[in-house]
Amino acid sequence: MVASAATVDGVFRALSDPTRRDVIARLTRRPASVSALAEPFDMALPSLMQHLGVLESSGLVRSTKTGRVRTYRLVPKRLQVAEHWLAAQRDLWERRMDQFESFANSMESEQ
Amino acid sequence: MVASAATVDGVFRALSDPTRRDVIARLTRRPASVSALAEPFDMALPSLMQHLGVLESSGLVRSTKTGRVRTYRLVPKRLQVAEHWLAAQRDLWERRMDQFESFANSMESEQ
DNA sequence: GATATACTAAGGTTTTTACCTTAGTGAGTG
DNA sequence: CACTCACTAAGGTAAAAACCTTAGTATATC
């Protein structure tokens, strides 16, 4: 389950904006309509909708329209794309630290 | 240990580019000079250096110069800024699932 | 059926990004 | 001390991002 570079790009890019992270954080709690999501921001509605577009095209969020209300919900699986990439780096880093430690230990035991 | 929005922005932004993620991945293994980092890319050196600048100003990476060689190394702690944000979302999401489950269970037991 | 509500479409501006080229500078090397 | 090597400085271009305003278009509601 290795996400393509473009997918990872999109996810990290989407998360690099504080407005969008705030939207994600709120959708983590519950689904919400466009206007509910827009309410706390001092921003024109179309601007916020652009952010929603970025989130949706990154796959972090999905929306459906019922009547005149469009409801957004989180796609938690998509957050894993970022989590996995970070976990892979951590793993490598820890291996490196282990190597370094065993090297340091072998130096010590040779004295 | 809550990172400021600007800090989180910078980290996610830095990770949103495949060239920069590749640099990070390589620095996770070992420190490297500018030219070593640039070598695999089909990109003019100054362009790659711009990426290194972005990484360094996000705090994900640190550099020191010895003689004419500048060496870059990872700052693994900075990756945690992203990990922590994601973990917080996962935590909230899981709480929500728990609530949903206990709600579903209580519905069931009322039948 | 008029009015309000919840988006959506279109298009404009400013800033930032991601590249480039060309031209240095300072540190090693023969 | 000329030359190469590893960066660095400066500045230029094209595309994308993040806002905005203004003007729709469907649903609901009275």
Q: Residue B18 and residue A12: Cβ atoms within 8 Å? A: no
The one-letter amino acid code at B62 reads R
The domain spans of chain A are 5-109
pLDDT at B8 over 60: yes
pLDDT at B110 over 70: no
Q: Residue A96 and residue B30: Cβ atoms within 8 Å? A: yes
Query: What is the model's pLDDT at position A110?
Result: 63
Fold designation for A5-109: Arc Repressor Mutant, subunit A (1.10.10)
Please write the tens of the pLDDT for every residue from A30-69: 999 999 999 999 999 999 999 999 999 999 999 999 999 9
The whole-number average pLDDT for the span B49-71 is 98
Half-sphere exposure (CA, 13 Å, Cβ side) for A5? 6
Which nt sits closest to B66, CA to C1'?
C27
Exposure string of A1-23, with b = 16+ CB inside 10 Å and e = fewer, is eebeeeebbbbbbbbbbebbbeb
Average pLDDT, chain B: 92
The one-letter amino acid code at A49 reads M
The distance of B27 to chain A (nearest Cα, Å) reads 9
Q: Are A82 and A12 in contact (CB under 8 A)?
A: yes
pLDDT at A103 over 70: no
Residue A88: phi, psi to the nearest 5?
-60, -40
On the 0-12 / 13-18 / 19+ scale of CB atoms within 10 A, A78 is buried
Q: Are A106 and B89 in contact (CB under 8 A)?
A: no
Q: Look at B102 and B54; give whichever has higher pLDDT.
A: B54
